[in-house]
């Protein structure tokens, strides 16, 4: 099984002094729990700093096709939306690009969506929350399972404190909190053997 994690800098793990992000932590835990099963997984972190939904729409298919192996299942885990507000992507463009990406991915394999976490700045955080909710709505229409980072993390003082460097990227402790929450996301936990 090839699992492609596709998103922005928060998927990539920017700000994590251990260079793992939440994706690396989940992969590490999967290996620790069942090394034999984990060896059969290929985990591809395809997060790119500052990627908006439109930029992800332009790149995701070509990049995942390069990682597809004949006869092997592929899963797609998307997490994006935080950069759209920062780069003033119009809402209609965010929704159109996201719908196209998620619908195509769902037709190709197991597809999941994780709504982005909060920012320290209240206005940016509110925009991230709105985008995440709208994309979760699209996923509901498409039958794509979702998990929302924003709500639980915005209520954790420790997570919000972890954003002190630049207001959006947590430190290692913040990424650890993100990975911990994803244990409760059953579709992802099953994929990774958590």
pLDDT in tens, 172-192: 999 999 999 999 999 999 999
Report how far residue 96's alpha carbon sits from residue 92's, in angstroms, rounded to the nearest whole number: 6
Q: What mean pLDDT value characterizes the chain?
A: 93
Contact 142, 104 (CB under 8 A): no
pTM: 0.95
**Confidence label for 70 from pLDDT (cuts 50, 70 and 90):** confident
Report how far residue 122's alpha carbon sits from residue 126's, in angstroms, rounded to the nearest whole number: 6
Rg (CA), the chain: 16
2-192 belongs to which CATH class? alpha beta
Element (H, E) at 115: strand 110-115
Quick one: average pLDDT of 57-82? 93
pLDDT in tens, 7-44: 999 999 999 999 999 999 999 999 888 877 777 889 99
Report how far residue 140's alpha carbon sits from residue 86's, in angstroms, rounded to the nearest whole number: 25
């Amino acid at each position: 099984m090839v699992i492609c994690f596709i998103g922005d800098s928060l998927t990539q793990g920017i700000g994590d002094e251990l260079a793992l992000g939440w994706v690396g932590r989940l992969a590490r835990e999967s290996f620790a729990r069942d090394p034999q099963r984990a060896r059969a997984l290929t985990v591809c972190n395809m997060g790119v700093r500052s990627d908006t939904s439109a930029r992800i729409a332009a790149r995701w298919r070509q990049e995942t096709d390069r990682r597809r192996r004949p006869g092997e299942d592929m899963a797609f885990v998307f997490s994006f939306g935080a950069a759209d507000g920062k780069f003033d992507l119009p809402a209609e463009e965010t929704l159109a690009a996201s719908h196209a990406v998620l619908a195509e991915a769902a037709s190709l394999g197991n597809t999941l969506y994780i709504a982005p976490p909060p920012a320290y700045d209240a206005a940016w955080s509110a925009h991230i929350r709105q985008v995440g909710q709208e994309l979760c709505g699209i996923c509901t229409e498409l039958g794509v399972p979702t998990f929302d980072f924003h709500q639980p993390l915005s209520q954790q003082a420790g997570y919000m404190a972890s954003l002190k460097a630049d207001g959006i990227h947590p430190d290692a402790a913040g990424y650890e909190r993100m990975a911990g929450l994803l244990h409760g996301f059953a579709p992802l936990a099953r994929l990774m053997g958590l």
